[in-house]
Amino acid sequence: MKSKNIEPFVPDQAYPYALRLLTGRDYTVSRIKEKLAKRGVPEQDAEEVILRLQREGWLDDTRYAGRFAESALSSGRFYGARLRLEMRRRGFTPDVVNETLTPLLAESDEFSEVRSAAERRYPGFSYSTASDRDKRRLIGFLQRRGYGFSAIMQALRAEE
């Protein structure tokens, strides 16, 4: 595979480049730093660009974390520990992750979240009549989403 021939940026090009990235989608501060470093922007210049973007409201990890977490919870993609892991993987600092997730997870009901995720994935699933294989599949699916085993079992057995 050929690598792109990337010429180093001059300091005047770093800000427009970062701004162009942010028009496509949100990025964390750490991801913007990585992108700028790959383009050969000196660390000092990258810091200046990031501070300017934050001052102007284009780059805000807290806002992005809130939107990402709400979207992940509402779609059932991630929950609990898995959501924390995904947010850290995307470059959010532990403080931002905790600040964002503590109120969101406190107001959500894991029991009902498990039931709705199970119903979306396997409509009409009945734990009492399902085979052991199907039970393991559903439990594994829910655990990979970040739901706790006890909450999963409590929610699935509640329908009986």
- The predicted-structure confidence for 92-115, as pLDDT tens digits, reads as follows 999 999 999 999 888 878 888 888
- Per-residue confidence at 138, pLDDT binned at 50, 70, 90? very high
- Give the helix ranges, DSSP H, for 4-128: 11-24, 29-38, 43-55, 61-75, 80-89, 94-107, 110-121
Residue 5 in any domain: the answer is no
* pTM for this predicted structure: 0.76
Tally of domains within the chain: 3
Average pLDDT (71-83) is 88
**What local confidence, expressed as pLDDT, does residue 88 receive?**
94
Q: Is residue 6 part of a domain?
A: no
| 125 Rama sector, left if φ>0, alpha if ψ -120 to 50, beta otherwise | beta
> Is 1 inside a domain boundary?
no
Domain span holding position 47: 11-55
CA dihedral 85, 88, 94, 96 (to 10 degrees): -110
Query: How far, in Å, CA of 101 to CA of 159, rounded?
Result: 29
Instruction: State yes or no: pLDDT of 4 exceeds 60.
Output: no
